Structure 1
């Protein structure tokens, strides 16, 4: 009898140990003691007067420029600002279907002395030299690559060299369905290696993910999946961070946005609350984010930075001491927070 009790005790210990090992790379925010800091914010006045349409993406380019995609612009919709004093320097990205023109503004990928932008409708990769674009308002980009009959293309990625990239890549399969993964590949040859498989819900447009690569880390956040995943640059999982979910009348939830990295820390835009509201025209829209989740490079929780009002994008500034928060989509406004 005594031996049987000892055996059961050992089996129980083994089960607990293996369960812990299985989940040791998953942390749950609701099991942590949140350290919430209210951030001091400073308005950025020079951009408040700009008449900009629907701003899709805002980018820090080489710690020198701020590139703003004005998707409603009918001419040059890539606006260039000095990221240190927010002075407007020029605009580029002539919209259209002609040579050197782009039909739809997409992600700005830092590259050499400027940036890459892909026109997926033409299957062309353009390279913009920022200095030349500032000097010449009629500047047309260099056609870096023409991807004919392409079925696999990266659309959010980081260039590791002149040709190698790592990022989110979509593959058009049968019945025009998309298979979306994190791949490492060569932009010129079209060859790639799958690193990380993403959930099937992304293929069916039920799930939106954001990708970022900072130093030797890959960070993936899932907009409505309450999950942050951190990998090393080879695609090995470091940690999943599962956000707490507290539903109240099916409205209150947590979701995450596009990550950024500063001073060996990861900052994840986060929102908790009623995720939607009606605008002045009565249309329901997303309200943005109201927190920045701060983690170390291994995904360990440090603290939560709470902002005074909601924002859409967070952009690291060159001094590595401040983050620029983009506030409103149509009447554009920025503030900075000090870390």
Structure 2
């Protein structure tokens, strides 16, 4: 009887060992399908000579401006302006059209300008005011007729989970980076879906589990069912579907999971266009003096495979994509303040 029990125990142990082995092999196979380790030193193209300066003589614009494109217009926000903080230009020739959003604490003034949300279908422009923790929505055509027009919509922003970096789909679905801060703890960033009508937020992507302080940029593409997330202080790009399911972690040559260090800067702005992910890249230690900005654009395919590096040769603060003219429009911290780069023939 004891001998028979011993055989039974041995049989069970063998099966447990077999199951564990299969699980480990599946896990390794699954991780290898998810993880990509890439080197950015492959195909490098110097495009500085293709960068075209955008000359804006008036109005004067501060160094913290943020570029946007909507319909026929190039839009800049200037939180340092004491007058109009939202400036609208003709994107064909970059001539100034009008401005709105006076700095101040009045009922229709901007206390602390945040980012814009662009609803191209409804031609509506939402302005975030983080001083009042309020979002105001303006009709674009009304602004063009009367820069002093009143907002069509106003609603409050959540003070404990503040949304930034918006990607608008419709009134009930907006992707946003959400900043949360608990007393005595460092603030964290994570991606959420946000219903602008109800204010409801739902967690979507918490980020790489080994990164303690998450600081990132992201881009969302409805057409490609894709979210691409680039980490500011880690050599890491991550891709997900629109439901937040992980596709790939793309580790660069300097990847590690050390606590985020602002002295080391990797990725910046990111866009998805032309079946490509384009992301600003610096990848070096911050110099002791002055701000650090990305100087290169790295091009990936939608699966996170490295295509090439575009050496822009200017300090890029932020950039956006103009689909009509297939170009990137950049705000720079350099000898020139604004410029564009046409992408025709550069992404293959």
1:91 maps to what in 2?
99
* Structure 1 residues 334 and 50, CA gap change in structure 2 (3 angstroms): farther
Give yes or no for the alignment of 1:68 onto 2:76: yes
Give yes or no for the alignment of 1:264 onto 2:269: no
1:3 maps to what in 2?
none
2:339 maps to what in 1?
334
Equivalent of residue 34 in structure 1, options 6, 20, 42 = 42
Asked if structure 2 preserves the Cα contact closer than 8 Å seen for 1:180 and 1:202, the reply is no
* Structure 1 residues 293 and 199, CA gap change in structure 2 (3 angstroms): same
* Number of equivalent positions: 316
Q: Which moved more, 1:226-235 or 1:190-199?
A: 190-199
Give yes or no for the alignment of 1:82 onto 2:90: yes
Q: Any gaps of 5 or more consecutive residues in structure 1?
A: 1-10, 279-283
* Structure 1 residues 333 and 193, CA gap change in structure 2 (3 angstroms): closer
Aligned residue runs from structure 1 range 123-162, under 5 A: 123-147=133-157, 150-162=159-171
RMSD (Å), alpha carbons: 3.3
User: TM-score w.r.t. structure 1 length?
Assistant: 0.81
Alignment deviations for residues 137-179 of structure 1 (CA, whole Å, 9 cap, x no partner) = 32333342135x7433422222221222222123454558645
Aligned residue runs from structure 1 range 234-313, under 5 A: 234-245=243-254, 255-276=266-287, 278=289, 284-286=290-292, 288-313=293-318
2:66 maps to what in 1?
57
Aligned equivalents of 1:42, 1:331: Cα separation in 2: 11
* Structure 1 residues 186 and 309, CA gap change in structure 2 (3 angstroms): closer
Aligned equivalents of 1:118, 1:135: Cα separation in 2: 22
Asked if structure 2 preserves the Cα contact closer than 8 Å seen for 1:26 and 1:241, the reply is yes
Choose 1 or 2 for highest CA Rg: 2
Give yes or no for the alignment of 1:184 onto 2:190: no
Give the deviation of 1:115 after TM superposition: 1.6
Aligned equivalents of 2:319, 2:194: Cα separation in 1: 28
* Structure 1 residues 176 and 13, CA gap change in structure 2 (3 angstroms): closer
Aligned equivalents of 2:84, 2:144: Cα separation in 1: 12
Alignment deviations for residues 85-141 of structure 1 (CA, whole Å, 9 cap, x no partner) = 211111111111111111111111112313212223322210122222222232333
Aligned equivalents of 1:302, 1:262: Cα separation in 2: 14
Aligned equivalents of 1:196, 1:68: Cα separation in 2: 29
